[in-house]
Amino acid sequence: MVLFEAKSTEKVDGVAQPILKIKRDFVFLKSNVDCIRRRKGYEAELCKATIDFTKLVDSLVPTEGINYCRLDIYIGVEGAEPYIYSTPWYHKGKPFWVEFIVKKGDKAKDIADRVEKTIKSNHIFQVDKDLINVTTDGLGKLTLEGATEYQRFRKIEINIFEADADYADLVTELDPNKVVSSAAIALVTKGKNAFGTYSQVIKDLRLPTAANYQWSAIRQVEVPIVGAVYDQYIIEYHAPANSHPLSVVGGRLDSHTTHVFWVKHEDALTTAWETALKTVGNIVDSDTGTAVEANVSDQVVNTQSELNKGVKVSK
């Protein structure tokens, strides 16, 4: 939560110019603002893949007897380092495999149901909790979905083991670099980490280490709200430094600072905040590189947000 006030003009060193006052942070002069960038927050996307056994019947169903098959899965992580994914390999992740049989005369639905039952009855994907959620559509398509936003499918393969040999024949595999829907094993969503959510802000800003009794501890009103999504605003600023080591020879030293604000994504609050920001500079969207258009007039004096309505702001 930030309390802010925008003034259209105020005299600074005898010159009238727009300013923006942020409580407990800074007074921003328009002439000293280098740039303002915005990145909108968004929820995470879980990784998801499907196995369509209707496209594998000819390859898996034997003409006589039984085929012994195996489903190999390697799920990695991106943007987090959970301990359960520690491995001796170069890439952190977790390998899983499911052995199942395919009988003569089996249909796609029979194979999908058998694989699902094998996984769930043996808790194959469970490490403290289920790391991969499994469902079927009742027609022969198996859906694998990650349990957290940080997971990524690195490998999904189906193999047939020869009865009298010590090797397996690869039937089909996933290409983790492509999101496709036509393949027998298809990557529906690669997975995307959230930005501006409670968990992302807490994790990446290391807020638990700041929530103590030191002088720099975050205040209760500044703690992120569970379930809320926040937009990030970055102000790059320069101003004359307080110390002038080269002043004896006429030198001038400027200090360059970066100020990051997380603002809860609500229409009224976002409009008030961006309107206040635009009194001291233009806002550029970090993802598109385009200017952010103001929702209301830029000519605002003493703008108040929903957070500081009725609060006396020092001037």
Q: What is the pTM of this model?
A: 0.76
The token pair that represents 192 in the structure block: 């995307």
Contact 155, 21 (CB under 8 A): no
Q: In angstroms, how far is CA 43 from the centroid of its own chain?
A: 7
Could you tell me how many residues make up the chain? Answer: 315
The token pair that represents 176 in the structure block: 């983790």
Contact 290, 284 (CB under 8 A): yes
* Residue ranges of domains in the chain: 4-43+195-244+251-285, 48-189
- The tens-digit pLDDT sequence of the chain (315 residues) is 455 655 556 666 667 788 888 877 778 888 899 999 999 999 999 999 999 999 999 999 999 989 999 999 999 999 888 888 887 777 789 999 999 999 999 999 999 999 999 999 999 999 888 999 999 999 999 999 999 999 999 999 999 987 666 667 889 898 777 766 668 999 999 999 999 999 999 888 888 776 676 776 777 778 888 999 999 999 999 888 766 666 556 667 788 899 999 999 998 999 999 998 998 989 999 888 888 875 543 333 333 433 334 444 333
